[in-house]
Every structure is written in C-alpha cells, then in structure tokens.
Chain A
Amino acid sequence: MYGKSRGLDPRIGMILIILSVVIVFSHTKLYIEWIFMSSILFLMYCFGVRKTMFQILAGYLVLCVIQVLVIPNVNVTLASMISVAVYFKMIFPCGAAVALFCATTPVRVLLEAFRRMHIPLSVSVAVAVSARYFPTLKDELTAIWNAMRLRNIKGMEQKIESMYVPLLMSAVKTGEELAQSAIVRGIENPAPKTSIVEIRIRLLDVLVLVYFLLLAGAAIWLG
C-alpha cells in the first residue's frame, strides 16, 4: 500500500536532466526538441504530475507558436526583439525534466540514490536540506511579500533590498532546524539504510534511458 514508487529511478531521472541539457544546447532540429518535450510530458502525465505538465505544455506551445508562426512573418526589428522568446523556450525541456524529477522523487529516495552512487554523506545531507528548504521558501516569500504590501514598500529595487534580511534570517534558522530534525532521526547512522520505496532499475527505466539516449544521439548527429 504505502511507499509505492511513482516515478523513475532517481539515477535515471538525473541522467534525463543531463540529456535535456545536451539536447537543448546541441541546437538541433526543432522536431527533435518537440519529440523530447512530448516524451517528457508524456512521462509526467503517466506518473500523475498532470497539473504541472499542462502548465509547462501551455507555456511551451505559446513560445513555439511565436517561434514558428510569428517570427518569420514580421519585420526584422520586431523579429529580433521577440526572438528573446526563443531563448526563453530553451529552458523548457530542462525545466520539464527537472519538474518530473522533483515531483516523483522524495527527498530520502534521493539520499538513498546518492548513497548508492557513493557520494559522501556531508554532500548529500547538504543537498537534501536545500531540496527540503525550497518548498518552505515559497511560504516565506509569500509572507514577506504580504508584509511589504502592508508596509507600503514600493518599487522593485526597494522591495528586493527589503527582502533579503528577513529571508536570510529565516534561511539560516530553517536550515539549522531541518538539519537538527534529520539528525535526531538518525540520518548519520552508519548502518546500511533500508527504504520502503524500492529503488532499483527496472525494465521501464532501462527502456526510458535507451530511448532518451538515442534521442540525444540523434540530436547531436543531426544538429
């Protein structure tokens, strides 16, 4: 019942992120990027990350429309202005791969993957605490933002300037407390850890990996 894995093996997830970067920066044919995007989005859909998937899809479609339909049909000045959108679009494949990874990998599964990859504990704990900190960060940013609205702090510059003192304070505190929570739960215990979520490379993982490797190969070869 509990602890069913709902995604790819975290190691495969990490490789996918790297491959997405390779594909994007190989400046390959547009249709390869499209195949890559739709494959990742398809995986997101299958693993139940649907809301994020539709958001990414919508954003990506808009930018594709600009690239394919708008830019070739307007005058040069305007085209060069909105070509920024094309660069912005480049982060979408990577973004999608990261979103897929984050949504399907619990922090401790990530830790377990790190352990199997023989990454030292001090590094992996630091990564895990930061990964755990980001969702908290969102709440804190909202709170600080709200506080600024009530204080009549206007202008982007002043807002950003006002932001970092409270943010830094809370980051230090949150980080410390999170680390303490992990430590009293025995994160440093040298015993080989077990996990109720099994991580192992299954057939699906292998298929996905091979598929995306081929795609990346094609991207470089055709690019």
Chain B
Amino acid sequence: MILICDVTFTYEGEEKASLLHCSMEVKRGEFVLLCGKSGCGKTTLTKLINGLIPEQIPGTLSGSVWINNENTADQPTWKLSETVGSVFQNPRTQFFNLDTTSEIVYGLENKGVPKDDIMGRLQQVVAEYHLHTLMEKSVFELSGGEKQKVAIASAYMEQPEIYVLDEPSANLDQEEILRLQGLLKQLKKQGKTIVIAEHRVWYLADLLDRALWLEEGTVAKEWSQEEFKALTPEQCREWSIRSVDPVEIHEERVQIQSNEGLMVKNLAVKRGQRILWEHLSFTALKGTVVAVCGKNGAGKTTLVQCLCGLRKCKQGELYLDGRRMNRKQLCKSSFLIMQDVNHQLFSDSVLSEVMLGNGASEKEAMEVLDTMELSGFLEKHPMALSGGQKQRLAVATGCLSEKEIIIFDEPTSGLDLDNMKRVGDLINMLCEKNKIAIVITHDLEFINHLRASVVTIG
C-alpha cells in the first residue's frame, strides 16, 4: 500500500536532513504508529505520504515513495488526495472553510461529485459520527476536540483508503481522546490503512499493528502490538515515549491554610451570553504548582485571561497575599506563557528581548538567561530559536519583570517525554524561586510529573 524507499529529504534552507535513508512499508489495512522525539522526522514522513512533499514544500528529495504501486512523484497532490485523507496537527489552520458543513463537503465538491450524491453521503457521515449539533457552525466556535472530529469526518467523507494523521490528540482532553480512539477504531474495522504520528500513545496501544520509532530521520526500531504494550516504564523512558498505559491523575492533596499566594474566590465568567463557569474557588500557594484541567471548550483560556487581568470577570474576587486585586494590579503581577509563544516575542535579539519593558540591568538579565540555558544565544533572533528555547525565553522575560504569578497555557502539547520533563523542571525551578505557577493543561501525564494540585473547571 505505502512503500517508502530510501528517502532522504532536506527542507529548503536547512543543512540537516529531516529524513535520512528512511525506508518503510505499510500493508493494506495496517495501523502504524510513528513515534520518536520531537524533530525526529515524523511529521515530514506524513507529508511525504500525502504528497505535500515534494510538490508543495520546497526541499531536496532523493529516493521514492509508492502509494498503491504508483510513484507519488508522478502524481499531482490533488490526485493523491483521492487516496490519502489527511488530518493535521494545528486545529486553527486545519480548515480551509469557515463553516463546518462547507468543510466536510469540500473534498467531494472539488472532485465534482454531483450535489445529490454529496448530500446523501453527508447525511450518512453526520449520522455515523453524530455530527448533528456541529453542522452549519462557524469553525471558530468549535472546541479543539470538535475541530478534530470535523477534520476526521471531512477526510472520511471522501472514503480514502489511507488516512494520515499528524498528532491528532495534541489539543484534546481525556474524554475527547477517547472519542478520537473510537473514530480510529471504526476506521480500522473498515479495513482502512492508517498512519499516525503521535506523542501521546496510550490511546493507540490497543489499535496499532506496528509502532515505528524514528531517530535522526530514519526508522530505528520497530515493535509489534504485543511488544509495544509490554514496554515497561523504564523502557519508555529510554526511548522517550509517553506512557503506554492509560493515564490517571495521582493527586497528592496537601491542605495548607495560608495567605501567601493567589486566592480565587467565587469566580464566574461569561462568554457571549453563556456562563462558562461559576463558583470557582481555589488557592495557589507560593512555591507550588496548580494545574487547571477541564474539557475542551470549558473556558480554560478564559480563566487565564481573568487571572492575568486581561478580561473582566462577571463576579468573584482575586486576592494576592491577602490583598484584593483589581485588573490592573493583576496585569502587573502575572505573566502568561502562551500556547503559541511566537505571539509574545517582540525584539530582534535574545538579550534585548529579556530587557524589553522592564527595568532590569544587563547583569540581572544575564543571570536569568544563564539559568534558562540561553546565555549562549544573546545575539540570536528570538524567532530563530527552537520551540523549547522560545518557551524558556518567554519564561525568562516573565521572571525579569518580577511577576509573581506565572501561568502556562498548554505548555506540553506536542512534546515528547524528554521535552515534557524539561518543561516540568522549568516550572519546578520557578517554584523554588517562590513563584506561583499555574498550568493550564489536559496532559494528565504532565500533571502527575509536576505533582501539582488539580483544579477542574466546567
């Protein structure tokens, strides 16, 4: 079905090859998981299969890719898209259309399928996927999980033989991951060929036929389902694989009564006409981590905006060290590491970035950069840093502005085990500095790693 022969691919403008003499074969009806550390070439491999490489993404390619015994180099991407359905990682740019119905029928319309046939197929897919409530909606109203569901339904509409998914769970909560698992199970049962690149692997353990572990752009290890499920936590650590078993939160409840920290009392928030949540109360002590969980669309990001004073609450009070805080004061004492950290880097060098907007001296700046392992990149442009480095740079700017509350919005989406631990260490370091760390996440493995106390909203 899919045959990749000795492929080497280097993205334009990069020196290191993303794929290096990579070969693999996927048989019809097989369910294959691609795993490996961030940057190992998983995503590149998925783009090779759906034909975006080499037609749309510039770079140098050698070797060949065969789908259904046809060389992909000889077919345009649109032709390939009739056989290969793709689901991408970023739900924000996953959709080309602005409403869900348009998006779902889009592929068939492009093929020129008659209207009545499209409508028939649409009815069928809507019923099978229980999409009734999601139809005719703006894609901006959907939660991450809903978007992923619509994305899979859109691919499913065209009934391709092969499905390629790139980290579909990156923005999903536990419940929605289980729903995604259900959808994948259904596809597998129908005998579809599925290739999925993923970090969070527990929900795939029962589905996969083979797991391939990539390193430095090539398949370095292969497991059968039995072998994969039998991986011990030590082995997982060795391969930097996230938990193979389903994850549950092990919360350690420590009750300390103290005024030192952030106290949230009876908070309620409205979005549009809808009350997202009310009666939310919790305390985040200095030097501890609080993890905020909640379903997709429960209003986690809205809570963050309230805590940072960027948004008005409908009711409720916030106290820092026993003092009642208004929005302006909150804005001064809290800092947010955004999910897309690119939004918060403004300067043209690392050093000027950390000194922007605060009165810090160069000495202080150097000290903080040193602890963040960034002192070697002083003159580098922030946008030229890697994802993890950018995140640390943003934390450094927060530390230097002497903010007491540091909030992380989904800091681990799309990270492998090693990198997840690295973010965990970073947060623990902030705790040692007596900061209040609040982490918005639905990564249960990460919560366990942090030993955070958990607040659930929604």
Contact = CB atoms under 8 A, between A and B. Distances in A.
A7 B135 CA distance: 18
Give the interface size bracket for A toward B.
35 or more
B97 interface: yes
A2 B140 contact: no
A207 interface: no
A151 B115 contact: no
Contact of A191 (B105, B110, B340, B343): B110
25 contacts: A2-B101, A2-B135, A3-B105, A106-B102, A146-B305, A146-B310, A147-B336, A147-B338, A147-B344, A147-B346, A150-B334, A153-B346, A166-B345, A170-B340, A177-B88, A180-B56, A181-B94, A183-B52, A183-B56, A184-B86, A186-B107, A187-B78, A189-B110, A191-B111, A194-B114
Contacts of B401: 151-152
Nearest to A185: B107
Closest 6 CB pairs of A and B: A147-B344, A191-B112, A177-B93, A162-B346, A186-B110, A152-B357
Nearest to A143: B343
B102 A185 contact: no
B78 A186 contact: yes
Interface string B46-58: 0000111000110
A190 B97 CA distance: 19
The interface residues of chain A, by DSSP majority, are classed as helix
B321 interface: no
A127 interface: no
Contacts of A107: 96-98, 102
B154 interface: yes
Interface stretch (A62-70, A81-89, A92-100, A132-140): A132-140
Nearest to A146: B310
Nearest to A168: B383
Interface of A: 2-3, 106-108, 128, 132, 135-136, 139-140, 143-144, 146-154, 162, 165-166, 169-170, 173-174, 177-198
B346 A165 contact: yes
A128 to B, nearest CB: 8
Contacts of A191: 110-112
A195 B93 contact: no
Nearest to A192: B112
A147 to B, nearest CB: 4
B59 to A, nearest CB: 13
Contacts of B346: 147-148, 151, 153, 162, 165-166
B274 to A, nearest CB: 16
A188 B97 CA distance: 15
B109 A195 contact: yes
Given A151-B357, A185-B81, A169 B342 contact: yes
A129 to B, nearest CB: 8
Given A106-B97, A107-B97, A174-B92, A179 B112 contact: no
